[in-house]
Amino acid sequence: MAPNLLVLGGTTEATALCCVLAAQGVRGTVSFAGRVARPVRQPLPQRVGGFGGVDGLVAFLRSEKITHVVDATHPFAAQMSFNAVDACARTGIPLVALTRAPWCSVVGDTWTHVRDIACAVAALDGPPERVMLAIGRMHLADFAPNPQHFYLLRLVDPPQEPPPFPDHHVLVDRGPFDSDSDLALMQEHRISWVVSKNSGGTGAYAKIAAARRLAVPVIMIDRPPVPRRLEVHSPEAVLHWLHHGVTDLGV
Ligand SMILES: NC(=O)c1ccc[n+]([C@@H]2O[C@H](COP(=O)([O-])OP(=O)(O)OC[C@H]3O[C@@H](n4cnc5c(N)ncnc54)[C@H](OP(=O)(O)O)[C@@H]3O)[C@@H](O)[C@H]2O)c1
């Protein structure tokens, strides 16, 4: 049977994979959670919205006659990754994750590693600072206990509700970003701290490089645990898995 892929998307890497799949004439659908108003246009058919947990995903895989699943979600989208592993185990459909390595600090970086968002909030429990809070919109409310800071927010869509801290500036923009522009942005807003998820990849790294150049400290939120699954790191490796299969973890 000709492959019919489900790509769990929402990342630059997923978009790059869809371009390669479309160029190769591979049939597939890319899925978005629906977190942003205007997802980046894809060269494959797309669907938007949650599946309804593992049961819903199993039903989707069966009704759409999906033959392979590629989990190309963001490293912080752990729930979706667990659901994909469970649903593929239940249906016997092969699964691979297209992942990117976490960032590592280099000379000149001043990082405080924290385990999760709650620990990032706790790390900001101090005198007023000027914080670039680069974590997307989903967890902004968690930072309400620290209203003493100025927060620079960069969001894909304008916020539907005002952020829960009085002193802030919202920038509506979509990556990839570059280090020179982020350096200028941080200077303009006199940023003294950056809060970032350890997303890895290139598109969101500009603020980390800019922070290094300005000697601004970074609160780096570690990745959540994700399930053990087959992982590859490039669209070409996904194609190889699709056509030849692979047996070792960590390809
Ligand atoms: N978390 C981040 O920092 C981040 C950053 C950039 C992009 N993204 C992208 O944004 C999406 C949501 O991230 P999240 O952290 O909220 O995910 P999550 O916590 O792992 O997922 C929560 C629920 O959202 C739905 N969902 C997530 N990804 C989906 C997808 N690609 N297609 C269809 N449904 C999806 C699923 O709902 P059901 O249980 O109903 O199926 C899932 O159980 C992901 O696709 C991710 O790639 C996330």
In angstroms, the CA 16 to CA 12 distance is 6
Q: Using a 6 Å CB cutoff, which residues line ligand 1?
A: 8-11, 31-33, 35, 50-53, 56-57, 73-74, 76-80, 83, 136, 138, 197
- Smallest Cα–Cα separation from 127: which of 104, 146, 145, 152? 146
pLDDT digits (tens, 9 = 90+) for 131-176: 999 999 999 999 999 999 999 999 999 998 899 999 999 999 998 8
Ligand 1 atom having least distance to the Cα of 36: 10
Residue closest by Cα to atom 48 of ligand 1? 74
Q: What is the arrangement of strands in the sheet containing 218-221, beginning at the earlier edge strand? A: 111-114, 218-221, 193-197, 130-134, 150-155, 168-172
Per-residue model confidence as pLDDT tens digits over 196-208: 999 999 989 999 9
Report the alpha-carbon distance of residue 147 to residue 241 in Å, rounded. 49
Tell me, in angstroms, the distance from the centre of ligand 1 to residue 33's CA: 5
**CA-angle at 202, arms to 228 and 125, nearest 5°:** 80
Amino acid 246: pLDDT = 66
pLDDT at residue number 37: 87
How many CB atoms sit inside 10 A of residue 177's CB? Answer: 20
Query: For atom 3 of ligand 1, which residue has the closest CA?
Result: 76
What would the pLDDT profile of 6-38 be if each residue is shown by its tens digit? 999 999 999 999 999 999 999 999 999 999 988
- Atom number, ligand 1, closest to the C-alpha of residue 83: 43
Please give the distance, rounded to the nearest whole angstrom, from the Cα atom of residue 70 to the centre of ligand 1. 14
pLDDT at 45: 97
Distances (CA, A) of 11 to 113, 133, 169, 222: 23, 19, 25, 18
How far apart CA 107 and CA 93 sit, in angstroms, is 44
pLDDT for residue 249: 43
Closest approach atom of ligand 1 to CA 79 = 20
> Would residue 146 be called left, alpha or beta, if left means φ above 0 and alpha means ψ between -120 and 50 degrees?
beta
251 vs 231, higher pLDDT:
231
250: pLDDT strictly greater than 70? no
Q: CB-based burial of residue 30 (10 Å sphere; 0-12 exposed, 13-18 middle, 19+ buried)?
A: buried
pLDDT at 34: 94
**Residue 247 scores a pLDDT above 60:** no
The residue type of 34 is G
pLDDT at 122 over 50: yes
Give 40-98 pLDDT, tens digit per residue. Answer: 889 999 999 999 999 999 999 999 999 999 999 999 999 999 999 999 999 999 999 99
pLDDT on residue 71: 98
Is the pLDDT assigned to residue 108 strictly greater than 90?
A: yes
CA distance 96 to 85: 9
Please write down the long-range contacts of 176-179, taking CB distance under 8 Å and 24 or more positions apart: 176/12, 176/202, 176/203, 176/204, 176/206, 177/203, 177/204, 177/206, 177/207, 178/206, 179/205, 179/206, 179/209, 179/210, 179/213
Max CA separation in the chain (angstroms): 62
77 CA: nearest ligand 1 atom = 20
- Supply the residue whose CA is at minimum distance from atom 11 of ligand 1: 33
The residue written with tokens 């005198």 in the block is 127
Identify the pLDDT of residue 40.
Answer: 87
